[in-house]
Amino acid sequence: MTVIEVDRLHKRYRDHVAVHDVSFTVERGEIFGVLGPNGAGKTTTVECVEGLRVPDGGAVRVLGLDPHRDHDALRTRIGVQFQESQLPEKMRVREALQLYSSFYADPVDWRRLLDDWGLQDKANTPFGKLSGGQKQRLFIALALVGNPEIAVLDELTTGLDPQARRDTWGLVEDIRGKGVTVLLVTHFMAEAERLCDRIAVIDRGRVVALDTPAGLVSSVAAEQRIRFRPSVPVPDGLLIDLPEVTSVRQVGPQLHVTGTGDVLQAVTSVLARHRIVAADLRVEQASLDDAFVALTGRKLEETH
């Protein structure tokens, strides 16, 4: 069942077109990722889904309703964690969760959310005394306290250390396991690969790709990268003349070889014939980072 439908969405700010004919659907129970550089239009798109902005063209339907016109009807069915949020400095964690839970007819037990999001020891801590990661976890808990059908999570692991980020991924998978649809905005490639069933890559206001993580990677998966440290200098042309090899680059003591097909067999065979040992050999397959570069022409980390 489709729970979010975005059809030829268009949004302009004076002379700047932020979103141009963006279309995608989100199915019930999936984790759908929105990936893109700063200024690509992904935040504007998600804000139209949330009902915070009115489209200039196209249509958005959430659970069969117009998110702007039917905002009151959708308010209790969608939980939102914003990228930048604030609470009163002296408000305690438990007070925030109690307050938010009072807004809903059928809230989740806020005490359970304290446990789920690792905030048990911070229940009586004022908001202003929380670390950045603790504040982020609190905002995620607040987005879920209303027992929503859809959770919109905007850069949910920003500010978290690597271990806390991985722990959070597990909790997001648990959220989906309970039947909640997740709309995830992220710039962490590992996060998108781990969590998302499908990803819309938005660049310059348009959807430039829409597929599963594996599907996006397969679009550039023809190439492989081989790195190794040769026991002796490799003669010019020895590797680049191989039909499977597309490029050879010297990086310090290492050779970086890029190629297609059975490039690993071709390279190791010719090295063996010339009695060259490939020490510290590593083979790298194409990644979601490679797919993003192929689609947008730049690395995602360069845009943040």
What average pLDDT does range 175-188 have in this prediction?
89
* Cα-based torsion angle of the residue sequence 93, 97, 100, 101 in order, rounded to the nearest 10 degrees: -170
**Does residue 192 share a domain with residue 179?**
yes
Q: What is the pLDDT of residues 191-228, one digit of tens each?
A: 888 999 999 999 889 999 999 988 888 776 667 889 99
What amino acid occupies position 84? Answer: E
Q: Is the pLDDT at 28 greater than 70, yes or no? A: yes
In a domain, 295, yes or no: no
**Does residue 17 share a domain with residue 76?**
yes
Note the helical H segments in the chain: 42-50, 71-75, 93-101, 110-116, 132-144, 162-177, 189-195, 213-218, 263-273, 288-296
CB contact burial 111-121 (16+ within 10 A = b; e otherwise):
eebbebbbbee
**Does residue 269 share a domain with residue 173?**
no
In a domain, 95, yes or no: yes
Q: Is the pLDDT at 287 greater than 80, yes or no? A: no
What is the span of the domain harbouring residue 14?
2-218
Average pLDDT of the chain, as a whole number: 89
Domain count, the chain: 2
**Does residue 173 share a domain with residue 244?**
no
**Does residue 183 share a domain with residue 134?**
yes
The whole-number pLDDT of residue 302 equals 47
Q: What is the pLDDT of residues 219-259, one digit of tens each?
A: 766 678 899 999 999 998 999 999 999 999 999 999 999 98
Tell which of 164, 192, 218 closes a domain. 218
**Does residue 241 share a domain with residue 146?**
no
Is 290 exposed, middle or buried (CB count within 10 Å of its CB: 0-12, 13-18, 19+)? buried
Q: Please give the backbone phi and psi of residue 79, each rounded to the nearest 5 degrees, phi first.
A: -110, 135
Q: Please state, in angstroms and rounded to a whole number, the distance separating the CA atoms of residues 222 and 3.
A: 35
What average pLDDT does range 74-84 have in this prediction?
86
**Domain CATH number, residue 155:** 3.40.50.300
Q: Is the pLDDT at 184 greater than 50, yes or no? A: yes
**Does residue 236 share a domain with residue 212?**
no
What average pLDDT does range 129-151 have in this prediction?
89
Tell which of 218, 234, 257 closes a domain. 218
**Does residue 59 share a domain with residue 98?**
yes
**Does residue 138 share a domain with residue 41?**
yes
**Does residue 266 share a domain with residue 225?**
yes
Q: Is the pLDDT at 295 greater than 80, yes or no? A: no
* Cα-based torsion angle of the residue sequence 157, 294, 12, 5 in order, rounded to the nearest 10 degrees: -70
**Does residue 114 share a domain with residue 23?**
yes
The whole-number pLDDT of residue 298 equals 65
Q: What is the pLDDT of residues 90-133, one digit of tens each?
A: 999 999 999 999 999 889 999 999 998 889 999 999 999 998 77
**Does residue 272 share a domain with residue 183?**
no
